[in-house]
Chain A
Amino acid sequence: MAPGTWSTFLRRGAIWAFIALELAFFSIAGEFLSVSDKAFMNWDNMLLLLKQSAPLGIIAMGMTLIMVNGNIDLSVGAIFALAAVILLDSMTWPFMAAMGDWSFLLAWVFALLAGVALGALNGFLVWKTGVDAFIITLGAMLGFRGLVFMYNGENPTSHLNWTLVDFAEAQFLGLHTATWFLLVVTAGMWWLMNRTVHGRNAYAIGDNREAAVNAGIRVGPHMMINFMIIGFLAALSAVVFYSESGSVNPNDGMLYELWIITAVVLGGTKLTGGSGSIISTLGGVLAIQILRRGLNHIGADTSTVNLVIGLILIAVLFLDRQLNVKGKEALRI
C-alpha cells in the first residue's frame, strides 16, 4: 500500500462509519425516546429520508466542484429561490397556460436557464474582477434574494400542475423521483470530476493555482463553467422540489448555502481546495439528514438539532486533522 493510502481510506470511509453509528444510535434511542411508535430504520422512513436529502444533495454536488476548485458559492440558496419563482410563475403566463399541462417542460427550461445565467454572472465576475468568490457570491446572495422579493413582495408564488405533482410523487423501483435526480446528479458529477479533463483540472487549480496557470490552464473560463454548473444544479434542485410543493415563499432556501457547505465539509472536502470527493459529499448530505430526522424522531427541537450538528462538524474536522497529520507524516513548521 502506498503511503497515505490508509489514511485516505480512513478519511473516505469515516463518513460512512459515522452514518452507521447514527443509524444505530437512533434505532436504539428511538426504542426508548421515540414520539412515534414506528422504528427509525423503517423502510418508508429511509425512503423519505433519501427523498428529503435531494434538494440539498443536488446542490452539494455542485458545491463540491466549486470548493475543490478553491472557491465557494454563497448564492445558491438565492438562486434556488429565484429559479423556483420562475418555475411556478412562468406556468401561469398566458401563452404557457394555453399549452396545457405539458407547459411545465418549458417552465423547467426557463428555470434551469435562469440558474445557469445567474451562475454565469457569478463566474464572470470572479474571472474578470479577480475578487474573491466569497465576496462576489456574498453580494450575489443578497442581490438575487432582492430579486425574489421584487417579484412578488412578501407573498408566496404558487401554481399547482397536477401532471407535475404526479411525476414528482412517482416512485420508480421504490425510489422517489427526487431521489433519482439526486442519484443521477451524483453519478454525473462523479464522472465529471474523476473522468474528465475539466474535472481533473478543477483539482489541479484548487491544489496549486500558480502551477495550473504555468501549465497553461485557462483558470478564469474554467471557473466560470463551474459556477454555471452549480447555478444549473441549484435551479435543478428547485425544479425537483417545487414541482411537488407548488408554492414558494420568498424566504425559501435561506441558509441553504450553510447547510450545503456543512455537508460538503463533513464529507471531507478541504476548504482550501484541491481535495474532496463526490461520494463522500453524498455521505455528508445523508449524515446531516439522518441527524435532523433522527433528532426529530427522539423528540428534540430545532435548536437542539442545530447545536448538535454544529458540535459534530467541529469534532469531525478535528478528527480529520488528526488523521491527516498521521497519514502524511509531513511536519510543517
Chain B
Amino acid sequence: MTRPALRLENIVKTFPGVRALDGVSFEVLPGEVHALMGENGAGKSTLMKVLGGIHQPNEGRILVGEEPAVMANPLEAKAKGIVFIHQELSLAEELSVAENIYLGELPRKSFGRVDWATLYARTDEILKKLKVGFDARTMVGTLSIANQQMVEIARALTVDAKAVIFDEPTASLTDSEKVVLFEVIDDLKKDGVGIIYISHRMEEIFKITDRISVLRDGEYRGTLVTKETTEDDVTQLMIGRSLDLSRNHEHAEVGDVALEVRGLSCGDLYRDISFEIRRGEVVGFYGLVGAGRTEIAETLFGLRAPSAGQILLDGEEVHLGSPVDAIARGISLVPEDRKGQGLVLGMNCRDNMTLPQVGDLTAGPFVSDGAEIAIFDQYRDKLDIRTPGWRQTVGNLSGGNQQKIVIGKWLSMHPTLLIVDEPTRGIDVGSKSEIHKLIRQLASQGYAVMVISSEMPEVLHVSDRIVAMYHGELIRTFTSDEVTEDSLIQAISGIRTDGGDKAA
C-alpha cells in the first residue's frame, strides 16, 4: 500500500460558539483525487484551512509523508508543498494576472527587484496550459468571475506541489473551463500529486474522484470508494436521508402577467429580448456564462440602462433608473457574486438580512431590534441557516450559509418579481433542494420568479418555462412539458430548432 502524501489526525478546531471540527481524520494518497463532501457548514473549508496554515488546530496533528508537521502560517504550508485554491476568490484586483498567480513569491533579481521577464514568461506558459483568453499582464479586476477563478486555479501549477486543495473550484466555471480544469487535475494526478477536491456537484465528484470522505457537523462520517458507491449513499451519509430529485412539480395557478419585456436591447450585451413572466410562474434562464442573462437581470433591477425596448410591470411601462426604483416597485435581485454584491461581510447576520428594509423596521425614531430579530429567526428556520446566532459576522459563515443569508434578505422583502442569479451556487444538496422547494413555494404564493442558472438539472427542476439564450440572443422559449435535455443544449449553442414560439 502506498503511503499517504499527507494525513490529518484527530483534528479539533473550535471557534467562539462553534465546534467546527470534532476529531476529524483525513488522508490523501499520492496520485489520488480525494473528494471531501458535506453540507454547508460541515467544516470542509475549515479542515483545509488547518492544513493550509490559516487556522491552528486545537488538537490533533498533521503528517506530511511520515513527518509530523506544524503549519504555523500559509507560507510554511506552501513550503511543504501544499497549494490551496480558495473557495472565495482570494485575488488582488488592481494587480496583474501574473502578480496574482505568483503572489507572495514573485521571482526576484538583485536588490529585491521583481524579475518581470521570468514572471511573465512563466505565467504565460501556465496560462497556455489552461487555454484561457487573457495574458499575464491583464489586470485581474477586468476579468469575469469565471476567469478570475481560472487565475486561482493557475496557482496550483506554480510550484512542485505534494498536495493541491481545490475548494469548490467549479462554482463559477463554464463547461469548457471545467474540462480544462479536469485535464489539469489529471496531469497533476499523473505527476503523483495528491488532490483534495471539495464540491457539492455530484456529477463532478463521480466523474473525477477516486474516494469520497464525508463530514457532517464537524464530525468525520466515513470514506467511500467512488467506483463502488452511489449518489444516494453519499447523500445519506451527508444529510442522513435521501432526496427526492424528481423533475416534476405541481404547476402553480398562473395569474396575470407581472413582468413583460418587449424588444429589450443593451448594446452588444443582449439584443431584442422579449418575454413575460406571470404571477405564480417560475421562468428559468439557461445559457452559457456570458450569454447575457445576468445583464438582463441587472437591467430589470435598475443597474444597467437598456439602449432600446420597454419594460412593463403589471401592464404599465416603467423606467427603472436605479435599484431604489426597482425595489420600490417590488423587484428583488439575488445577485450572482454574493461576496462582492450581496453581503456586507463585516456585518452580522441579522443586519445583513434586514439591510434593505431597515428603514421600515422602526419603533419611533429607532430601529426595532425585536422586529429585526424576528425576521432573522423566521428566515433562519425557513432556509435552515447554520449559525450560532444572529450576532455572528457573516464573513465567518460557511460559503453556502452566506448564500442563504442573501436569499433570506430578499425574500423577506416580499417582492412581486424575484430574480435569482445562480441561486444554489456553492450550496449543498440538502439545502439546494430546500431552496428549490422554496422557489416553487413562492410561485404558488403568487410571486413571479426569474431564475438564472447554468446548471441544467436546476432549471429543469424548478422552471415552468425555460428561456434559452446564446450570445445575447433569446433563441427559444420552452414549456416544461416540451423541453428535453438535448433540445436545451442545442438551443444554448445557438442552434434554432422549429417548434417553439420564439417570442413567448
Contacts and interface: CB of A to CB of B under 8 A. Distances in A.
B73 interface: yes
Q: Contact residue range for chain A?
A: 20 to 34
B232 interface: no
A331 B103 contact: no
Contacts of B113: 195-197
Interface stretch (A132-140, A148-156, A169-177, A212-220): A212-220
A203 interface: yes
Nearest to A270: B94
A204 interface: yes
B342 A211 contact: no
B388 interface: no
Interface stretch (B135-143, B308-316, B472-480, B488-496): B135-143
Interface string A194-213: 01111011011001101111
A331 B304 contact: yes
Interface stretch (B13-21, B249-257, B333-341): B333-341
Contact of A203 (B77, B92, B108, B304): B92
A67 to B, nearest CB: 13
Contacts of B86: 214
Contact of B139 (A4, A197, A215, A333): A4
Interface in B85-113: 86, 90-95, 99-100, 103-106, 108, 111-113
A200 B112 contact: no
B114 interface: yes
A203 B106 CA distance: 13
A40 to B, nearest CB: 37
Given A197-B108, A212-B104, A4 B95 contact: no
A81 B100 CA distance: 40
Q: Contact residue range for chain B?
A: 35 or more
Nearest to A327: B142
A215 B93 contact: no
A204 B103 contact: yes
A257 B238 CA distance: 57
Contact of B92 (A195, A196, A208): A208
B447 interface: no
B303 interface: yes
B386 interface: no
B376 interface: no
Given A2-B139, A197-B106, A213-B74, A207 B112 contact: no
Max count, chain A CB within 10 A of own CB: residue among B95, B298, B304, B323: B95
Given A197-B114, A211-B91, 6 more contacts: A195-B114, A196-B113, A214-B86, A216-B78, A218-B75, A274-B93
10 nearest A-B residue pairs (beta carbon): A216-B75, A215-B104, A207-B92, A215-B103, A211-B90, A216-B104, A216-B74, A204-B92, A208-B92, A331-B303
Interface of A: 2-4, 195-198, 200-201, 203-204, 207-208, 210-218, 274-275, 328, 330-333
Interface of B: 52, 54, 73-75, 77-78, 84, 86, 90-95, 99-100, 103-106, 108, 111-114, 138-139, 141-142, 298, 301, 303-304, 323, 333, 335, 340-342
